[in-house]
Structure 1
């Protein structure tokens, strides 16, 4: 049995009390009380010895903070047999945070087996709450088991934040307080305080006060036992850049080098404020540029002058380029698993004749390690070394590979998930304990976690394992949770729905069992209402991706959708749909998925034009649609929201009527295929193809107008009116849809910034009255450009398309059209 003291355990070992306690612990149950008394006395004496040791200058090593966490906080002075049960849990030291909240955050439970791993995770969860400066967990015998005692030290509460200094000529106090995330009544977090000080300094720098000084002082108010925080802000003198000159550059024009410098002189489009850190980064940026171009020996320095009265600075950047180096021969040594040819295929940057740079050599060394890592050699290390060949003055590069042994996964640890249950993360992982490490599986696991939409960041690390086997390692999956719940409302205009307002409540990490928080199980719940000038929609949707913890998705939708007659967007009638569906789906393998859906809805058609033909007028009335749909898809995209590579192949078969009842009988088949290519500068090229056919059968003489295919507009062929590509009524010229559809789209996206992309597109396709007309041709095309913008209420698409053909029923080709919508794409 090990006894861990709060500080050093070395003195306890030196006094021999460790072995005494072991003997006492092994005594019979009749001496249990004496054993506990001796243990407590031993701990007190050890603490006394430790104090004596410190006073006498004993240099015995103190445990690290990590050892304090792993040793001291999992039961000081008590070794716990694994088979013991937890009989009680007690919380001490909490004044502001309720015991109920604390107990809801830990996984240790009464009547469950005691587990040091769970205790360690509990400490992590409590620490991530940010409420406590110290967390200790102790244990004691209680009613035949163990009482777990959680001892907390709460952070101090902020009573008041005071700003002082000569900042009033630059900032308003309320603006400064808005930049501070620490608020009165919250806990004083030292990490957040440091971030707030940096935020205040950044504000000063943006205003040109590069030499601003900001400090903090905290003082305890004994009357309230709360902290008074004082922030001192001294902006100093404002400085602008008047001129930047570059001298000594021979191989690159000054204009090109100045583009690399983010510090700009004062002018019409730049304030020119001097920021010392930014200017130093500019110098390093220039050095990095030269080194990547093969000028390994480059030296760059600068001189600064100033006009004190006017607050201006002048800079001269001096460049000593040195000689340019290129790669000569490449040698590989130490490799047995892969051939030299296989390894050289991974070297993208260091190849004979290419410009040599240290950065390129390091990146290719990492590429070699990745090659081995993907095969399970997690201990592989590759180093690049250079030799300047005196004959040809080229740099020969040698990569020395230390392959190491194969690595195997011991345990998987999940960190950073406060709301999300561990099992939600684990079920997306493609590696399991006991398996050989596989880089491709780790990469796919990361993609799947990111596609959930629950996490801002996903990363993994490999840590030493507690196993005695040298080839075993633990996998640590680190996640940073994002906000998954939304309450949103707003309004807008689109070319499809005209004026519209909406309100939505959504939680994509829903858990109906977790009262009152309702988060953490990975379910999706949405309630949405839309009211517009021509449309009224109400929807409820729920999806459980793992029904009963099996990889079978279950979901349902309930809805009521109304759309008024609006010929401008291709509706020559009023349409009302009320109903719902039930969904089941399952993945097979890594990318294949099969889905089934039963749909039941009532459709009402009214307000058909008096001038319409009899074929269109016969759609008036109420009809029940009852159908079963089967879908098969293969999705290899790297990202669901922003794919850069991969493809989606999907097809559906739907049967309405017949064995499923209802008023209409038809059979519909559709396919949707997309392929994505990653190009230079993070741009992407996407090809899409959609095709479909629908046929009536049985007692139905024609396919209902609301189940036919339509094209034209924002989501199909841009440059044309909504739903205006395809058959129209012979008299009213209203679109009536067709039984066959084929649409192709090519779209190139180029990012201008994280939230904004420009798009170039070409659309081609048509809708035909009958399936037999599929091969008759008559394709219609459009071309144009647009923008993609990320907003808090969802992605915004704005396109301008030019038509190549005239619309059916129109005498001449129309002009270009704008298409505006709130959606990512097709």
Structure 2
């Protein structure tokens, strides 16, 4: 029998009071976490400016436009980390005895003022560098490879990096067990002493492959840069790991050394791999840069890909792929493309690691202005060779048939459109020193694209084309968090033989969100399109300067100056005859790359240009 308990009002009030106190404590904690940094005050710094020290900190003051960028949310733990970061920065500049203290005060119950007090101490410099115990590598060579130099401020972190550099040099010369230690003698002008214990030179005894079930072990050995009886080399081991990953056959690769014979100074290398799924149906959704028609001009498309592939055909590491794609253009020049292709890739050819792809394809593209439906089908063979991390080449040869259908005969005549049966050889050279291809902040990109069509190859389209492009990315001088990006492109196309005019779909195109903003896509040139004008050669020159400024969260701004033009004669090519446009834009960093909205304004439009002087461009990925 259940006993009835009457409602206890006093007990209920006690429970509510406990809950209110509990949530009140949480509220106080949350209120504290919502305190914002109002100001950062630094005292005692005589050699290093406030701005440089503040740039080392995670906690930030409100930005110049405080409406858009407020101060950081205060966190005492992060303040301790910032204090350590400021001290580390001092140490890297030679102030190894620097002392940094932190404190803070709450104002207006909502904001925090941070105080950093610095005692810099003396600046220590390197008076001398002595190297002891080295026989294999001479002093002069070691001094060349390290970054610490005589007379420079002592940087303990750079010195640690220098020891790692010397250690790697020894590991590449058969001495994986070499030992290193550095000591400092003196207080203000110090002597850096590097003690080397070289130990034995070690050779590779056996190479053992583990983890293969679908892949033949010899395919793994084929990718290795080292062989039995060679001296141990850490760089060859790292290169072999990269090459195994590049095959696409493995999700994990680990190469470990086991010392087996200390008398004969030999060790075994264990190559452990984890295989990926070899057959797969998959797809992709994202944005890509696509070439327009047969030209070198690119546009940004929203792209959907569906594919089936076998990356280990007949257990040989060969790749066969069936791929279909649908893309939607987001510019004015093209409404997109649909295509299907079958490709076969041979990873090694003639004993060389030069992946060679045989491909057959059919593509349909709809240009917008003018309204031109293009159908391309054909086949090609391409050989890709990577010489280093930066430099690679791609040599291809193929036949492409381009047809135009359902188009007014007057438009076809004025644009010199006809069915093109083009047999060509293409060579693409790339030297890419960028660290991040989606958001480059330093490095450069150099490319040279050359095409020869017709002539002794046959077909009804005889032309040759070359284009050189160079881009540079570097921190802006006045603010290192900003990126100054520059690009210059130049090229030419010329017909020869029986081809008197260059077909429209082989032209260069300028204007639009990836070349000269402020102009419509493909609308910038120094000559008119008409039936009477014979276009047998085209020369191109374009430049871009863009300043990319992070604002807050994932948002950023751009300031740019673009210029360019197309001419029919080489003598007309001149920076003075280029059309320029400037403007600004906003970008938002997405997982697929930056989405941007730019506004370009024509600075010197051509006479008779009746189109609007300003134009908005929307795109994904940066203009270059």
Note the C-alpha offset of 1:386: 0.7
* Structural mapping, 1:184-223, within 5 Å: 209=29
Equivalence for 2:88: 288
Kept in 1, the 8 Å contact 2:468–2:491? The answer is: yes
Equivalence for 1:535: 335
TM-align CA RMSD? 5.6
Equivalence for 2:426: 631
Equivalence for 1:580: 378
CA distance in 1, matches of 2:436, 2:242: 11
CA deviations 1:352-401 (Å, max 9, x no partner) are 44332422322222233344445554444332211116xxx422222223
* Structural mapping, 1:503-652, within 5 Å: 503-505=304-306, 510-511=309-310, 526-530=323-327, 535-546=335-346, 551-563=354-366, 565-566=368-369, 571=370, 573-587=371-385, 593=393, 595-604=395-404, 606-608=406-408, 615-616=413-414, 619=417, 623-638=418-433, 642=437, 645=443, 648-652=446-450
Say which of 342, 347, 350 aligns to 2:141.
342
Note the C-alpha offset of 1:471: 4.9
Give the 3 Å change call, closer, same or farther, for CA 691–499 of structure 1 in structure 2: closer
Give the 3 Å change call, closer, same or farther, for CA 756–315 of structure 1 in structure 2: closer
CA distance in 2, matches of 1:499, 1:586: 24
Q: Does 1:667 align with 2:467?
A: no
Note the C-alpha offset of 1:795: 5.4
Kept in 1, the 8 Å contact 2:415–2:504? The answer is: no
Kept in 2, the 8 Å contact 1:421–1:521? The answer is: no
Note the C-alpha offset of 1:656: 3.9
CA distance in 2, matches of 1:465, 1:679: 46
Structure 2 gaps of 5+ residues are 1-17
2:145 partner SS: coil
Q: Does 1:364 align with 2:159?
A: no
Equivalence for 2:540: 742
Say which of 693, 698, 701 aligns to 2:493.
693
CA deviations 1:1-59 (Å, max 9, x no partner) are xxxxxxxxxxxxxxxxxxxxxxxxxxxxxxxxxxxxxxxxxxxxxxxxxxxxxxxxxxx
CA deviations 1:554-598 (Å, max 9, x no partner) are 2425333242552xxxx3x42322423332325386656452332
Kept in 2, the 8 Å contact 1:801–1:816? The answer is: yes
CA distance in 2, matches of 1:821, 1:795: 8
CA deviations 1:622-678 (Å, max 9, x no partner) are x543332223344443569627557655443333487655xx332333344546576
Note the C-alpha offset of 1:615: 4.7
Kept in 2, the 8 Å contact 1:739–1:767? The answer is: no
CA distance in 2, matches of 1:805, 1:304: 55
Kept in 1, the 8 Å contact 2:424–2:451? The answer is: yes
Say which of 651, 655, 677 aligns to 2:453.
655
Give the 3 Å change call, closer, same or farther, for CA 394–440 of structure 1 in structure 2: same
Note the C-alpha offset of 1:338: 3.7
CA distance in 2, matches of 1:405, 1:651: 49
Say which of 121, 136, 153 aligns to 1:355.
153
1:511 partner SS: strand
CA distance in 2, matches of 1:745, 1:447: 36
Give the 3 Å change call, closer, same or farther, for CA 736–406 of structure 1 in structure 2: farther
Give the 3 Å change call, closer, same or farther, for CA 658–299 of structure 1 in structure 2: closer
Higher helix share: 1
CA deviations 1:305-344 (Å, max 9, x no partner) are 999xx89999876655444323322222233344433322
CA distance in 1, matches of 2:274, 2:549: 26
Note the C-alpha offset of 1:530: 3.2
Say which of 463, 466, 473 aligns to 2:257.
463
CA distance in 2, matches of 1:420, 1:800: 53
CA distance in 2, matches of 1:505, 1:475: 38
Give the 3 Å change call, closer, same or farther, for CA 736–576 of structure 1 in structure 2: farther
CA distance in 2, matches of 1:764, 1:279: 46
Equivalence for 2:9: none
CA distance in 2, matches of 1:439, 1:625: 52
Kept in 1, the 8 Å contact 2:501–2:534? The answer is: no
* Structural mapping, 1:298-377, within 5 Å: 298-300=98-100, 319-348=118-147, 350-375=148-173, 377=175
Give the 3 Å change call, closer, same or farther, for CA 760–314 of structure 1 in structure 2: closer
Task: Count residues with an aligned counterpart.
Answer: 570
Structure 1 gaps of 5+ residues are 1-164, 171-203, 211-235
Say which of 54, 58, 66 aligns to 1:262.
58
1:345 partner SS: helix
Give the 3 Å change call, closer, same or farther, for CA 793–544 of structure 1 in structure 2: farther
CA distance in 2, matches of 1:747, 1:443: 37
CA deviations 1:773-796 (Å, max 9, x no partner) are 223325425364667765345554
Q: Does 1:249 align with 2:44?
A: yes
Relative to the length of structure 1, the TM-score reads 0.54
Note the C-alpha offset of 1:477: 8.2
Kept in 1, the 8 Å contact 2:342–2:361? The answer is: no
CA distance in 1, matches of 2:557, 2:419: 43
CA distance in 1, matches of 2:587, 2:215: 31
CA distance in 2, matches of 1:337, 1:521: 43
Q: Does 1:782 align with 2:577?
A: no
Note the C-alpha offset of 1:723: 1.9
CA deviations 1:219-272 (Å, max 9, x no partner) are xxxxxxxxxxxxxxxxx9968578898787353677765664435799986687
Range with greater deviation from structure 2 (258-267 or 285-294): 258-267
CA distance in 2, matches of 1:593, 1:816: 39
CA distance in 1, matches of 2:386, 2:201: 29
CA distance in 2, matches of 1:249, 1:650: 53
Give the 3 Å change call, closer, same or farther, for CA 506–783 of structure 1 in structure 2: farther
Note the C-alpha offset of 1:538: 0.8
Find the structure with the greater CA-based Rg. 1
Kept in 2, the 8 Å contact 1:798–1:819? The answer is: yes
Note the C-alpha offset of 1:546: 2.6
Range with greater deviation from structure 2 (596-605 or 251-260): 251-260
Kept in 1, the 8 Å contact 2:542–2:565? The answer is: no
Equivalence for 2:501: 702
